[in-house]
Amino acid sequence: MCVIGASGKLGRHLVRHALERGYEVVGVCRERSVGKLAEFEGRITVVPGQTDDRAVIARAVAGCDAVLTVLVPWGVHHYASGTAQAVLDHARPGARLVFSCGWHISRDGEDVYTRGFRIYAAVFGRLARLARFVDVDDQVEACRRVFESDTRWTVVRGSDLEDGESQGLPVWSRHVGDPILGGNRTRRVDYALFMVEAVEDDGLVHEAPAIVGRLTPSALAHARP
Ligand SMILES: NC(=O)c1ccc[n+]([C@@H]2O[C@H](COP(=O)([O-])OP(=O)(O)OC[C@H]3O[C@@H](n4cnc5c(N)ncnc54)[C@H](OP(=O)(O)O)[C@@H]3O)[C@@H](O)[C@H]2O)c1
């Protein structure tokens, strides 16, 4: 299993879950961040490099049955879409590909966002792009390419995140705005759990589940028994 963006908070949870499940793990992260993977020394293979570097990705995903990608829209040079494209092009045919992103990504335009969410996304997106540190539109483009690909993909759309102990596998729905997602809060450790479990869940192939913590009030009220 390859974890792309392994040194971040979500990435390290992905590596931990993967190792616990007995996967052989390859992690990709920026050269300067390799030290953040010290806890896994001797247990994973680290391929240092930018995640949109096609040669780095080709080397890292070679022979992997699954690739988990933390999609982040840093900078204004198409980092997210470059990363996604490299994974789509180089993962072996038939590999399970699981990508992370936020609720703001919509697969079919059927998501219903609160006014507050829309205003926050618009203002943050514009300011971040002006400051040239994040390009949210590029994460949208990255996901568009994934949705259109004929690979075995899943795009896991995260709610607001928090740290803390695991509460178990998050619940999911196809559309933001569905009552079960109202709690809008997921533990990072459980976001990672969902992504790793998705690898073996064929029911999630070609799905873009929006997830929420299983102990949020909305999940408790609306989850199927
Ligand atoms: N944060 C939220 O509330 C939230 C909500 C919903 C969904 N999500 C999704 O969850 C995923 C993880 O997000 P996160 O916020 O929790 O962050 P995170 O897990 O800490 O990961 C951040 C990633 O971005 C990389 N990074 C940081 N600065 C960078 C730069 N200048 N250039 C290139 N890479 C850089 C980090 O690599 P280094 O280790 O090398 O710095 C790390 O791999 C993302 O897909 C995000 O869309 C987040």
Nearest CA owner, ligand 1 atom 12:
10
Q: What is the pLDDT of residue 188?
A: 98
Q: Are 111 and 210 in contact (CB under 8 A)?
A: yes
Q: What is the pLDDT of residue 224?
A: 73
Map residue 125 onto helix, strand or coil.
helix
For the purposes of burial, counting CB atoms within 10 Å of the CB of 148, is it exposed (0-12), middle (13-18) or buried (19 or more)? exposed
Q: What is the pLDDT of residue 221?
A: 96
Torsion sign (Cα): 15, 147, 106, 110: negative
Tell me if 33 CB under 6 Å of ligand 1: yes
Distances (CA, A) of 100 to 54, 105, 115, 157, 196: 19, 10, 24, 6, 11
Tell me if 144 CB under 6 Å of ligand 1: no
- Hey, what domains does the chain have and what are their CATH numbers? 2-222 (3.40.50.720)
Q: What is the pLDDT of residue 74?
A: 86
Instruction: Name residue 70's amino acid.
Output: V
Q: Are 89 and 27 in contact (CB under 8 A)?
A: no
Nearest CA owner, ligand 1 atom 30:
74
Rounded to the nearest angstrom, the distance between the alpha carbon of 6 and the centre of ligand 1 is 10
Tell which atom from ligand 1 comes closest to the C-alpha of 33: 40
Nearest CA owner, ligand 1 atom 32:
74
- Ligand 1: residue of 4, 14, 69, 72 to mutate (most ligand atoms within 8 A of CB) is 72
Nearest CA owner, ligand 1 atom 46:
101
Tell me if 36 CB under 6 Å of ligand 1: yes
pTM (two decimals): 0.97
What is the block-wise mean pLDDT of the chain (225 residues), using blocks of 10 residues? 98 98 98 98 98 98 97 90 98 98 96 93 86 88 98 98 98 97 97 98 98 97 82
